[in-house]
Amino acid sequence: MQKKISSIPFNGTAEQEAKLKEIIKKHKDDPGAVMPVLQEAQEVYGYLPIEVQTMIAEGLSVPLEEVYGVSTFYSQFSLTPKGQYNISVCLGTACYVKGAGKIIERISEILGIGAEECTADGRFSLTACRCIGACGLAPVMTVNDDVYGRLEVEDIDGILAKYMA
């Protein structure tokens, strides 16, 4: 899958950097540490800009290309920042058969952004995700940690309005 790379300047804080150093220290001697460190680093920064990947490579003493190879391989790692509200629409089979395509189209229309994009004000980002395993409630979408199931296209405006206020 092609990854979008952020053009927004990096502005990590000293506090975040201290946390990252802590994470690197914790995993330094584990075999196969790159993935767990990237996962925890993404929790700290919200995404994985090249600056963070460089710090990880140096900290773990592995080549940057190896870190970059891993971060671009797995879909969970994001090289672009997420919006304040990240909307994730499930496009797994069960949801797709039940019309998830129309749901994502409507959201796209309202927000004016496509999948894997973020609105200019940084408020909303949109992701098309694979099965989240809530197939019994298909079609499903999540806004940060809130889950919305058994969706109809007509529900979308109301749901988004809650977060626009």
Partner 1 sequence: MYRSNVLVCGGTGCTSSNSELIIQKLKEEIAAKGLEKEVNVIRTGCFGLCALGPIMIVYPEGSFYSMVKVEDIPEIVEEHLLKGRIVTRLLYQETVEQDTIKSLNHTPFYEKQKRVALRNCGVINPEKIDEYIAMDGYAALGKVLTEMTPQQVIDEIKASGLRGRGGGGFPTGLKWSFAAANEADQKYVGCNADEGDPGAFMDRSVLEGDPHCVLEAMAIAGYAIGASKGYIYVRAEYPIAVNRLRIAIDQAHEYGLLGDNIFGTDFSFDIELRLGAGAFVCGEETALLTSIEGKRGEPRPRPPFPAVKGLYGKPTILNNVETYANICQIILNGAQWFKDMGTEKSAGTKVFALGGKIKHTGLVEVEMGTTLREIVEEIGGGVPGGRKFKAAQTGGPSGGCIPASHLDVPIDYDNLIAIGSMMGSGGLIVMDDTTCMVDIAKFFLEFTVDESCGKCTPCRIGTKRLLEMLDKITKGQGTPEMIDEMEKLCYYIKENSLCGLGQTAPNPVLSTLHFFRDEYMAHVVEKKCPAHVCKKLLQYKIVEDKCRGCTACSRVCPVGAIQGSVKQPHVIDPNKCIKCGACMEKCKFNAIIKE
Handedness of CA 52, 78, 123, 150 (dihedral sign): negative
Q: Is 138 in the site for partner 1 (CB under 8 A)?
A: yes
Minimum CB distance to partner 1 smaller for 22 or for 109: 109
Give the whole-angstrom CA distance, residue 106 versus residue 152. 10
Please tell me the count of residues contacting partner 1 according to CB under 8 A: 37
Least distance in angstroms from the C-beta of 40 to partner 1: 10
Q: Whole-number minimum distance, CB 18 to partner 1, in Å?
A: 23
**SS3 at position 87:** strand
d(C-alpha 153, C-alpha 134), whole Å: 18
CA 110 to chain centre: 20
Q: Which of 133, 144, 157, 161 binds partner 1 (CB under 8 A)?
A: 133
Residues that bind partner 1 (CB under 8 A): 1, 31-36, 38-39, 66, 69-70, 73-77, 91-94, 96-98, 129-138, 140, 147, 149
